[in-house]
Amino acid sequence: MTTVAAPAADRHPLLWPIMAGLLILGWSSGYVGIRYANQEAGIVLLLFWRTLLSGLILMPFALAFGPRLEWRAVLSQMGFGVMAVFLYLGGFALAIGRGVPTGLVALMADLLPLAIAALSQPVLGERLSPRQWLGTAVAVTGVLIVSLDSLAFGAAPVWAYGLTAGSMLVFALASVLLKGRRSLDMPVHQALCIHSLTGAALFGICALATGDSLAPPLTRDFAIGIAWLVLLGTFLAYSVYYTSLRLFSAARVSAAIYLCPPVTMVWDWALFDEPLTALIFAGLAVTMLGVWLTSR
C-alpha cells in the first residue's frame, strides 16, 4: 500500500503549523522523560523499556488495521528501525556513557535539520532556496545561543565525540531514505511498531551482553519517565514526524526541530524549576526567525 501525499493546494493552511507544534511538543518532551527515568535506571535499560512497551502497545493495531504485513516490507522497516531507533538513540546513550557532556550531545541532536537539509538535494532532489539556507543558518545560530550555557567538553575518547555526530547523521539519512522510498510506505502505526520492536530487541541484547538485568525499577519516577517517553516521546513525536515527512519536504519538517532546545528548557522550568535566562529567550527569538524563513 502506497501513501500518496495530498497536493499542496488541497491542504489546509493551518495543517503545517498544527503538525509543527505537535512535533516540537513531542520531540522536546523526550528529554523530560529521560530526566525522570534516568534517575532510577541506566540509559540502555530505559531505552529497552521505552521501545518494548511502545512496540507491544502498537502491535494489536498494527496486526488488525492496515494492509497485510509482508516480509519484504517488514524487513525494510526493520532496517529503518535499526537506523532511526537503535543507532540514533543508542549512539547518543553510548556517547554519554563514555563521558561526552550531555549538553554537547543534545546540541548535536538538535543540529539534525542541518544534516537533513544537506542530504535532501543529493538523495531526494529537494533543492533549498537561498532564503531557506539563510533560515537554516539563522536557526543554527539560535540553537547555539540557547545551548551556550550548557556546552562543555569532557574527557571522553575522540571516537565518542565522533559517535554523537555519526548518530545524528544516521537518523538524517534514515529520514531522507524513508521519504524517498515511496514503494515501501506503510501506515505509520505499523512502521512505528516494527521500528520500536526492532530497537527493543537490540537494546535488550546490549543490556544482557553487559551483564545488566532487564527487570525495570519499580519506582514512581521510572514509571512516570517511561510513560512520558512512550506517549509523548515515541507515539506523538515519531508518528507526527513520519506523517509530516509524507506530506511536506524533509527540510521543512526537520526545521521545526530547531525549536526543541528552547522548548525543552521551558519544560525544565515548568517541571523542575530550572531558571529561564535572557539568553534562552534571545536564542528562542533567533531560532523562530530562522524556522520561519526555512518553512516559507
Per-residue pLDDT tens over the stretch 108-159: 777 777 777 777 776 666 677 787 778 778 877 877 776 666 555 656 677 7
pLDDT for residue 230 is more than 90: yes
Phi first, then psi, for residue 274 (nearest 5°) are -75, 145
Higher-pLDDT residue of 88 and 261 is: 88
pLDDT for residue 257 is more than 90: no
Confidence of residue 3 (pLDDT cuts 50, 70, 90): very low
Q: Which residues contact 28 (CB under 8 A, 6 or more apart)?
A: 259, 260, 261, 263, 264, 267
226-252: average pLDDT: 87
For 233, half-sphere exposure in the C-beta direction (CA atoms, 13 angstrom radius) is 28
Return the pLDDT at 154.
Answer: 59
Structural domain boundaries in the chain: 14-295
Residue 80 is which amino acid? Answer: F
Confidence of residue 52 (pLDDT cuts 50, 70, 90): very high
Cell for 185? 510506505
Which pLDDT tens digit goes with each residue over 72-112? 888 988 998 999 899 988 887 777 767 676 666 677 777 77
Q: What is the DSSP string of 185-206?
A: ---HHHHHHHHHHHHHHHHHHH
**What whole-number percentage of the chain has pLDDT above 70?**
85
Give start and end residues of each alpha helix (H) in the chain: 15-37, 43-64, 71-81, 88-97, 102-110, 112-119, 130-147, 158-180, 188-209, 220-228, 237-247, 250-255, 260-272, 278-295
d(CA 175, CA 172): 5
Higher-pLDDT residue of 277 and 225 is: 225
State pTM to two decimals.
0.81
Site of grid cell 528562542: 284
Provide the total of helices (H) and of strands (E) in the chain, helices listed first: 14, 0
d(CA 265, CA 243): 26
pLDDT for residue 295 is more than 70: no
For the ranges 201-205, 238-242, 250-254, the lowest mean pLDDT is seen at 250-254
Site of grid cell 537561498: 130
**What whole-number percentage of the chain has pLDDT above 90?**
15
Return the pLDDT at 101.
Answer: 64
Neighbours of 252 (CB within 10 A): 24
Nearest to 264 by CA among 240, 278, 280: 280
Length of the chain: 296
Confidence of residue 60 (pLDDT cuts 50, 70, 90): very high
Cβ proximity of 244 and 188 under 8 Å: no
Nearest to 100 by CA among 161, 163, 147: 161
Return the pLDDT at 183.
Answer: 53
Cβ proximity of 11 and 247 under 8 Å: yes
Please give the mean pLDDT across all residues of the chain: 80
Q: How far is residue 217 from each of residues 211, 225, 277, measured CA to CA in Å?
A: 16, 11, 35
